[in-house]
Amino acid sequence: MPIREPDVPDVACVNGEFSPIEDARVSVEDRGLQFGDAVYEVLRAYDGRIFAILEHLDRLARSCRHIRLDAPGVLAELPGQISEALARSGYADAVIYIQLTRGAARRTHLAPDSIRPTCIVTVRRVEQWYRDEQANGVSAVGFEDTRWARCEIKSTDLLANVLLKQQARDQGAFEAILFDRQGELIEGASSNVFVAAGGVLRTPSLSPHVLAGVTRLTLLRLASGQGIPAEEGRITRDAMADAAEILLASTTTEVIPVVMFDGRPVGDGHPGPIARRLLEAYQSAVRGG
């Protein structure tokens, strides 16, 4: 891994062309911009190694199938482009985004058959480590889910998530936790949610409303290795009020305990033992431990 010069910018790769991130360009006609007609992934590199790359690329391929974006050649070239972009950045620890759009064409809802996908890979310095949030916990607020009905697709169209997260922030909270109309837990605006009660860890089952988080899957595996009983199933908003622990899980934030939910302390109002054990196990796993 080359030593990175301090003034070398973050790296982008657009359709195979590498450049500093601020020099990278896509067309104003790109359907990712015009329609949100695009899917994406977020990955983390730790010590120069990308964590769970196969799981992320599998999910990207699934998202592509869901939106009928047929791009086998582009998907095949991605691992090489990601590795090269990471190497060019020189970062040992990085956040990597992939955006795959249906491509650029004159604006009309139906895309022409001749359209070619746009593939964007960016490698950025890790600006936020969330160490304070992981150690001390955060507050979260519940909202009715206002997103579309296909949240298993990792779509770049995140307007509802942005607005929900902003509403949470307006109330001084870190995350918006989303519920359906019946009051069943779905996930966070940018995380999967776990609840611990009676020593058992629970998270909502996968459905079209829930993103199959890579961190979620990793935590379910780690819990089993740690002897923490874990289940997938229904969780109501009422049950969350009685939970001993609530945890948020995502690639960028790893594991963050929720210590205040809807303005009331969760458990004793401090990060609990399951959050602590899972965070430790996760941080060891991502560095190959």
Burial of residue 39 (number of CB atoms within 10 Å: 0-12, 13-18, 19+): buried
Quick one: which segment of 11-19, 183-191, 238-246, 276-284 binds ligand PLP (CB under 6 A)?
183-191
Question: Contact between 235 and ligand PLP (CB under 6 A)?
Answer: no
Q: Angle at Cα 202 formed by Cα 239 and Cα 282, nearest 5°?
A: 135
Q: Is 279 left (phi over 0), alpha (psi -120 to 50) or beta?
A: alpha
Least distance (Å) between residue 93 CB and ligand PLP: 16
Question: Contact between 192 and ligand PLP (CB under 6 A)?
Answer: yes
Question: Contact between 156 and ligand PLP (CB under 6 A)?
Answer: no
Which one among 138, 211, 266, 274 touches ligand PLP, defined by CB under 6 A?
211
Q: Name the phi and psi angles at 274, rounded to 5.
A: -70, -45
Interface positions, 27-86, toward ligand PLP (CB under 6 A)? 42
Least distance (Å) between residue 215 CB and ligand PLP: 3
Which one among 63, 156, 203, 215 touches ligand PLP, defined by CB under 6 A?
215
156's CB contacts (< 8 A; 6+ apart) are: 32, 36, 38, 39, 40, 99, 101
CA distance 276 to 130: 14
Which one among 81, 101, 155, 250 touches ligand PLP, defined by CB under 6 A?
250
Least distance (Å) between residue 92 CB and ligand PLP: 20
Quick one: which segment of 14-22, 32-40, 195-203, 206-214 binds ligand PLP (CB under 6 A)?
206-214
In eight-state DSSP terms, residue 210 is S
Cβ 225 vs Cβ 280: under 8 Å: no
Closer Cβ to ligand PLP, 40 or 261, answer by number: 40
CA distance 33 to 108: 13
Least distance (Å) between residue 145 CB and ligand PLP: 10
Question: Contact between 214 and ligand PLP (CB under 6 A)?
Answer: yes
Closer Cβ to ligand PLP, 107 or 129, answer by number: 129
Question: Contact between 155 and ligand PLP (CB under 6 A)?
Answer: no
Closer Cβ to ligand PLP, 101 or 192, answer by number: 192
Residues with a catalytic annotation lie at 154
Question: Contact between 175 and ligand PLP (CB under 6 A)?
Answer: no
Q: How far is CA 155 from CA 152, 161, 190, 251, 263, in A?
A: 9, 11, 12, 16, 31
Which one among 34, 139, 155, 191 touches ligand PLP, defined by CB under 6 A?
191
CA distance 162 to 233: 26
Give the count of alpha carbons within 13 A of 283, CB side only.
Answer: 13
Task: Give the three-class secondary structure for 243.
Answer: coil
Interface positions, 101-140, toward ligand PLP (CB under 6 A)? none
Burial of residue 277 (number of CB atoms within 10 Å: 0-12, 13-18, 19+): middle
Quick one: which segment of 19-27, 62-70, 73-81, 186-194 binds ligand PLP (CB under 6 A)?
186-194
Closer Cβ to ligand PLP, 23 or 58, answer by number: 58
Interaction site with ligand PLP (CB under 6 A): 42, 187, 190-192, 211, 213-216, 249-251
